[in-house]
Amino acid sequence: MQSSPGITYWLANLTIGEETADDAGVIFGTSLGGLLTIDWAYPVVQEQGRRRAGRLTSAMMLPNTAAAEIPISFGLRRPNYCIISACATGSNVIGEKRRTAESFRPV
CB proximity list for 96: less than 8 A, separation 6 or greater: 27, 83
| Count of other CB atoms within 10 angstroms of residue 37 | 22
Chain segment 12-25, per-residue pLDDT in tens: 666 777 777 777 88
Q: For residues 85 and 107, give the distance between their C-alpha atoms in angstroms, rounded to a whole number.
A: 30
Q: Please name the amino acid found at residue 37.
A: T
Its pTM surpasses 0.75:
no
Mean pLDDT of 67-83: 83
φ, ψ of residue 80 in degrees (nearest 5): -145, 110
Which H or E element spans position 83?
Answer: strand 80-84
